Amino acid sequence: MLKKISSKEKKELLKQLQEQFNFSGKLDYNFFVNQDKKIFIFNKNLDIDFSKIRVNSLGLYFANTENELRLSIEGSQLIGPHSRKNIFEIEDKQLQEWMHGRDIETENEFEGFVLIKNKDDFYGTGKYKDGKILNFIPKERRLKN
């Protein structure tokens, strides 16, 4: 069941985005979280009383907060252009590897989750660990050979 995120929780979420990615944009949406700790966003003008219906997801999947804040591909595309930190720019060849679900080796050092960028586009987030950026693209969204 979806639960609306309080304004206090939304401020905390925005604070996390600012700390991790130096995000300075605005997210003028309603935020909801389900029992799996997935955050969904949708238009502020849409007002739904979830006490009368059972819904597990609605709108755009933005992030998962199970252990740490991990943005979805669409979440990275929303905040990426307004972020200035923990952005890993990859070449076309690395992008192909990334979209096939493979980790990327790097000599750069990052802390935690990193936005993956190629040219002007963002392709999700990966977690930096031991010289690699670990891939979190869901299997069903990966490119097939």
pLDDT number for residue 124: 96
Strands 121-129 and 113-118: antiparallel
In degrees rounded to 5, what are phi and psi of residue 44? -65, -25
User: Which domains does the chain show, CATH number per domain?
Assistant: 3-140 (3.10.450.720)
Whether the pLDDT of residue 57 is over 70: the answer is no
d(CA 27, CA 10): 10
> What is the per-residue pLDDT for 55?
66
pLDDT of residue 56: 62
Q: Is 38 helix (H, G, I), strand (E, B) or coil?
A: strand
pLDDT for residue 3: 87
- Rounded-to-integer distance, Cα 4 and Cα 120, Å: 32
For the cut 70, the answer to whether the pLDDT of residue 145 exceeds it is yes
Q: What is the pLDDT of residues 78-106, one digit of tens each?
A: 999 999 999 999 999 999 999 999 999 99
Question: What predicted TM-score, i.e. pTM, was given to this entire model?
Answer: 0.90
